Chains A and B, each alone.
Chain A
Amino acid sequence: MADQKKLAIIATKGTLDWAYPPFILASTAAALGYDVEIFFTFYGLQLLKKKLKLQVTSLGNPGMPMPMPMPVLLQALPGMQAMMTTMMKAKMKSKGVAGLEELRELCQEAEVRFVACQMTVDLFDMNPNDFIEGVEFGGAAMMFEFAGDADMSLFI
């Protein structure tokens, strides 16, 4: 289809909360008929791991809704991040929010293209075997090859 719309996403964040926007937008755009590519770079590479071990943190994020007010120093105590992650996952489940693995699979089923940034894979000594199947590896030029004629490009 020559008039097919294109969406390019650059995913740079590796936390549980920020893992959602790229996968939600990519899967929805694909359902609407878009040709979609996500370029995963820096911490965004965590979203490609077979086993996702993503966490949330309230540190440096005063916008995060908390069940009760809590001083920042307390939030930094050991175990707090794991606790917040557990609470966030429970909350998402109770509200019927999709699991990340499920959304990621839906993206792949819909032929969303996943590209991992080779430079950051090397920088962090990551093992490509830890990534899910179907990931391509490339650099900034490969990203622009797609984004150059995309209808929208999002940096997340």
Chain B
Amino acid sequence: MANFDQELDASGLNCPLPILRAKKAISSLSAGQVLRIVATDPGSVKDFEAFCKQTGNELLESGEEGGKFVFSIKKSS
């Protein structure tokens, strides 16, 4: 899952900043485009799950890479 249209580095940021920054980044994308997010806040794992469930955007990937949390979100509409 290496393809994405935009990347957001939310490292070092704490709740709710990763979500707020991601929301902003997603609104600048077109439907179907993918945002990749890198975060260090352990709470962001559950938070991005909940964010996608409520906003209807698709969580393509949620994992760990080099001690950081990585997410890919596909904009729905």
**Residues of chain A at the chain B interface (Cβ within 8 Å):** 24, 27-28, 31-33, 95-98, 103, 106
Contact = CB atoms under 8 A, between A and B. Distances in A.
12 contacts: A24-B16, A28-B16, A31-B16, A31-B23, A31-B51, A32-B51, A33-B54, A96-B12, A96-B13, A96-B14, A96-B17, A98-B17
Interface string B1-32: 00000000000111111011001000000000
Contacts, number: 31
Contacts of B17: 96, 98
B52 to A, nearest CB: 10
B55 interface: yes
B51 to A, nearest CB: 7
A91 B20 CA distance: 22
Given A31-B20, A96-B41, A106-B20, A24 B15 contact: yes
